[in-house]
Homo-oligomer: A and B are copies of this chain.
């Protein structure tokens, strides 16, 4: 007996969770979104090592507090992200991102000292403050640091309880940034190293994450946006005899062009990154919509986002 489509019902004041419950029996993206909530509920309520990878300009777009709260609530055990999201996390600790039009005149913005990320703008003055802050908090140390240790040190200096880096520090969540040189943090680290001591061994992070993979009895992964963070987390599992048992992927890419960000999670089974009997789903679309929806519905079921 096949399940049937139950036409979705909408009511005034309905909760996100009720809506996503209803989407279980719909087709297309709605169904995938509802499956993602089910998988995430399993991941957060079960005994899984919880990996979370973050790409795309999610912090500038307003997703910072969701992530820092997930960390605070114990819902992220391992964070893999881009340098850019960490840069913007630090900027939010003292400054702001602004809202503008994606059709703005970009040469005019440059003259006004504004840098644009689609419809979000940053002021040059906030970048300058960022640089000053970085030069004051990047350590002057002779010993070799891993990337994870470097970000722990930075996190300990961010005085903001909504900061991703700070919450990761507080809650002992390792932050991996495999493309560390590719960000303003990387640039500042390099500048710093011209006059002070700073030695970062990026390969130490490889060992660290592979060890976590080895030690996981069961593992789940929430992939927001593909890119290097997706690949780094999946390849780390690849070198162990383990594989991910639960996986959620949010992406705007589709598989046809062959890039990793749009690759199906099924493809990852052929590599041994994801288990052949894993429970997994990809939700196609804008993560600034789908990510909050999944989190809002899941924590409603778990009732543990206090």
Contacts and interface: CB of A to CB of B under 8 A. Distances in A.
A303 interface: yes
A223 to B, nearest CB: 14
A65 B106 contact: no
A184 B28 CA distance: 22
A286 B29 contact: yes
A260 interface: yes
A300 B295 CA distance: 21
Given A5-B60, A98-B3, A259-B225, A187 B202 contact: no
A64 interface: yes
Interface stretch (A44-52, A166-174, A175-183): A175-183
B99 A269 contact: no
Interface string A178-210: 111111101101100100001111110111000
Contacts of A284: 254, 256-257, 285-286
A99 B193 CA distance: 47
A287 interface: yes
Contact of A15 (B2, B15, B61, B189): B15
Contacts of A256: 28-29, 118, 254, 284, 286
B10 A296 contact: yes
Interface string A279-306: 0000011111110110110011011110
Nearest to A254: B254
Contacts of A40: none
B61 A26 contact: yes
A274 B201 CA distance: 32
26 contacts: A2-B99, A2-B100, A7-B62, A10-B292, A11-B299, A23-B289, A26-B61, A27-B258, A28-B288, A29-B286, A29-B288, A29-B289, A31-B288, A55-B259, A106-B270, A107-B276, A115-B270, A178-B186, A181-B232, A182-B231, A186-B206, A200-B202, A200-B203, A227-B228, A227-B261, A257-B284
